[in-house]
């Protein structure tokens, strides 16, 4: 084997540090952007936030004597904040709000709210009341191994070895932990979780006899026909257990509506769950309809507005340029380094807002029908086409919309990536088609493809399967009902 070295010439595109920093800010949603700004303010003494006057009428930042939000005119006696021509500051927009206080918790009403009780805190409190002294430590160890959904993630044998206790002892303690509220907590898998909840349901005094019968039968089915239950093979269950098919369907519906596979989620904060609704989302951009029929895009930012170069550092640098011999090279290097870093940070924030605004404006112009109607009006749009229109790179468009949300004129808050998902309109039509099917004779994927073709949408059966799975819709055999 011979080794050789060769030299070659070629062109390769590289990014300078400032562009890399810009792209990092561009891809951050507004919540992460604020964290980056806080970190930069702590690390860079040459960067500061200006104090802002607030409009007494609407609360917007009053940057001049006339509010850009509501038109309110300030009293002529109020002095406008002076702004040096050499002051490098981030461009203000009407989205800015609030005066920055030294005590962030005082300004933030959420900081004064009581923290919600977590599942772990709830279980530890209940365990202290119920446990015996000799098994309290082992119960706490088990509770510490539960995930947010209430399941025991650690293998008991491994846990017992780590704690230096017999596995049989931990199994007995686990049975006691599983009796804590909420029912189903401490389960090692879905089957055990459902069984624990059903056993608890049967033992309740305030439940009707009919529902207790459902719970009892559900326990029997899970014990004897678990795999058939997971496959929704209700005909097989009815045949093997000699039950009416309608009865099996009723029990399956009972389990679906009265038993949860995630017992611990009731202790999770709303903003950590998908079911918390759009009200908890913070849009990064807002798209509003104008009187002329077009769309106005506002990029939402908070304390990033009002950033500027620290006055002391600016004066120091001016003095260093006029009297260089008065300062040491180390001092000059320190001031220049932080001033350059602050200017680039402010420039990148300005560029981020302008880039995101341009991209969403181009998207709004193309997807106007969707913004005011529904997913059926979604038009095919690619990141590449928007990039070509604006003279940007495709990756820039991708970074700009990734992980961000937009509030559209209808009031809905949607992911920005939705504007580039051409399959959404087809998926919406698919949901409408499936809503019309007979539950006793659900459509196969091939049948769905034919019905879509009748509506002018030609896609292959395998594409229907792909979209159906993305919508988390079960296959026809598992959607069939027997009642």
pLDDT tens digit string along 215-231?
Answer: 999 999 999 999 988 88
Most confident range, picked from 122-131, 241-250, 291-300, 451-460: 241-250
**Residue 413 lies inside a defined structural domain of this protein:** yes
In this prediction, what percent of the chain has a pLDDT beyond 90?
Answer: 8
Q: Are residues 376 and 240 part of one domain? A: no
Q: Are residues 292 and 192 part of one domain? A: no
**Residue 7 lies inside a defined structural domain of this protein:** no
Q: Which residues pair with 62 in a beta bridge?
A: 53
**Which one is predicted more confidently, 432 or 187?**
187
Q: Are residues 372 and 439 part of one domain? A: no
**Residue 139 lies inside a defined structural domain of this protein:** yes
**Residue 360 lies inside a defined structural domain of this protein:** yes
Q: 136-141 contacts: CB < 8 A, separation 24 or more?
A: 138/163, 138/165, 138/169, 138/170, 138/173, 139/173, 139/176, 139/177
What's the structural domain count of the chain? 3
Q: Are residues 415 and 298 part of one domain? A: yes
Q: Are residues 236 and 126 part of one domain? A: yes
Residue 122 has what pLDDT?
87
pLDDT of 255 above 70 = yes
pLDDT of 238 above 70 = yes
Residue 102 has what pLDDT?
39
List pLDDT tens digits, range 139-161. Answer: 888 888 888 889 988 888 888 88
User: How confident is the prediction for the chain on average, in pLDDT?
Assistant: 77
List pLDDT tens digits, range 54-66. Answer: 555 555 555 455 6
pLDDT of 422 above 60 = yes
Q: Are residues 336 and 467 part of one domain? A: no
List pLDDT tens digits, range 173-217. Answer: 899 999 998 899 999 999 999 999 999 988 888 888 888 898 999
**Residue 357 lies inside a defined structural domain of this protein:** yes
Q: Across residues 57-82, what is the average pLDDT?
A: 50
* pLDDT band per the 50, 70, 90 thresholds, residue 369: confident
**Residue 321 lies inside a defined structural domain of this protein:** yes
Q: Are residues 231 and 108 part of one domain? A: no
**Residue 1 lies inside a defined structural domain of this protein:** no
List pLDDT tens digits, range 304-355. Answer: 457 888 888 888 888 888 887 777 888 888 888 888 888 889 888 889 999 9
- State residue 112 phi and psi, 5-degree precision: -95, -5
Q: Across residues 386-392, what is the average pLDDT?
A: 90
CATH code for the domain in which residue 431 is found: 1.10.10.60
Q: Are residues 326 and 258 part of one domain? A: no
* pLDDT band per the 50, 70, 90 thresholds, residue 53: low
Distance CA 184, CA 314 (A): 63
What predicted TM-score, i.e. pTM, was given to this entire model?
0.52
Pick the last residue of a domain from 387, 402, 421: 421
* Torsion angle defined by CA atoms of residues 403, 407, 412 and 414, in that order, rounded to the nearest 10 degrees: -20
**Which one is predicted more confidently, 438 or 15?**
438
Q: Are residues 462 and 406 part of one domain? A: no
Q: Are residues 298 and 366 part of one domain? A: yes
pLDDT of 450 above 60 = yes
List pLDDT tens digits, range 325-337. Answer: 777 888 888 888 8
Tokens coding 371: 């913004």
Pick the last residue of a domain from 267, 292, 318: 267
Q: Are residues 341 and 315 part of one domain? A: yes
Pick the last residue of a domain from 395, 421, 447: 421
Residue 91 has what pLDDT?
44
- Helical residues (DSSP H) of 165-274, grouped into ranges: 167-177, 190-202, 209-230, 234-241, 245-258
Residue 220 has what pLDDT?
92
DSSP for 122-162, written as a single string:
HHHHHHHHH--TTTHHHHHHHHHTB-TTS-B-S-HHHHHHH
Q: Are residues 333 and 241 part of one domain? A: no
In this prediction, what percent of the chain has a pLDDT beyond 70?
Answer: 77
Residue 203 is part of which domain span?
119-267
Q: What is the DSSP letter of 80?
A: P
Residue 195 has what pLDDT?
92
Residue 90 has what pLDDT?
45
Which 3 state secondary structure label does DSSP give 307?
Answer: strand
- Helical residues (DSSP H) of 294-409, grouped into ranges: 311-322, 329-366, 368-372, 383-390, 394-401
**Residue 451 lies inside a defined structural domain of this protein:** yes
Distance CA 307, CA 49 (A): 5
């Amino acid at each position: 084997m011979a080794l050789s070295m060769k030299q070659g010439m070629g062109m390769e595109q590289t990014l300078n540090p400032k562009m890399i920093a810009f792209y990092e800010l561009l891809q951050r949603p507004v919540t992460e952007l604020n964290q980056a700004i806080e970190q930069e303010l702590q690390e860079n003494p040459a960067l500061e936030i200006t104090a802002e006057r607030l409009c007494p009428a609407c609360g917007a930042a009053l940057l001049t004597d006339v509010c850009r939000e509501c038109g309110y005119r300030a009293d002529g006696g109020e002095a406008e904040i002076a702004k040096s021509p050499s002051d490098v500051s981030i461009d203000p927009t009407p989205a800015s709000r609030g005066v920055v206080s030294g005590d962030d918790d005082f300004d933030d009403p959420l900081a004064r709210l009581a923290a919600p009780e977590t599942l772990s805190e709830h279980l530890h409190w209940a365990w202290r009341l119920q446990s015996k002294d000799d098994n309290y430590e082992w119960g706490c160890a088990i509770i510490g191994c539960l995930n947010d959904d209430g399941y025991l993630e650690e293998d008991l044998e491994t846990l017992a070895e780590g704690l230096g206790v017999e596995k049989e002892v931990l199994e007995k303690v686990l049975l006691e932990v599983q009796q804590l509220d909420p029912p189903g907590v401490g389960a090692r898998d879905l089957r055990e979780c459902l069984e624990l909840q059903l056993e608890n349901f049967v033992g309740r005094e305030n439940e009707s006899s009919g529902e207790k019968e459902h719970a009892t039968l559900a326990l029997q089915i899970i014990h004897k026909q678990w795999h058939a239950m997971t496959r929704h093979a209700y005909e097989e269950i009815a045949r093997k257990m000699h039950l009416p098919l309608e009865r099996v369907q009723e029990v399956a519906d009972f389990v679906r509506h009265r038993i949860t596979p995630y017992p611990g989620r009731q202790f999770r904060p709303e903003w950590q769950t998908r079911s918390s609704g759009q009200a908890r989302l913070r849009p990064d951009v807002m798209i509003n309809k104008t009187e002329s029929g077009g769309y106005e895009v506002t990029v939402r930012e908070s304390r990033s507005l009002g950033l500027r170069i620290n006055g002391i550092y600016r004066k120091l640098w001016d003095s260093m340029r006029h009297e260089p011999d008065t300062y040491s090279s180390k001092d000059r290097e320190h001031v220049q380094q932080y001033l350059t870093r602050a200017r680039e940070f402010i420039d990148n924030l300005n560029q981020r807002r302008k880039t995101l605004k341009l991209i969403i404006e181009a998207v709004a112009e193309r997807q106007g029908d969707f913004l005011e109607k529904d997913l059926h009006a979604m038009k095919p749009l690619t990141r590449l086409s928007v990039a070509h229109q604006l003279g940007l790179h495709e990756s820039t468009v991708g970074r700009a919309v990734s992980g961000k949300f937009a509030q559209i004129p209808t009031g809905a808050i949607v992911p920005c990536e939705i504007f580039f998902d051409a399959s959404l309109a087809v998926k919406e039509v698919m949901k409408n088609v499936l809503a019309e099917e007979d539950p006793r004779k659900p459509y196969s994927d091939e049948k769905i493809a034919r019905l879509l073709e009748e509506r002018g949408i030609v896609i292959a059966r395998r594409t229907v399967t792909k979209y159906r799975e993305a919508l988390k819709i079960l296959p026809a055999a598992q959607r069939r009902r027997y009642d």
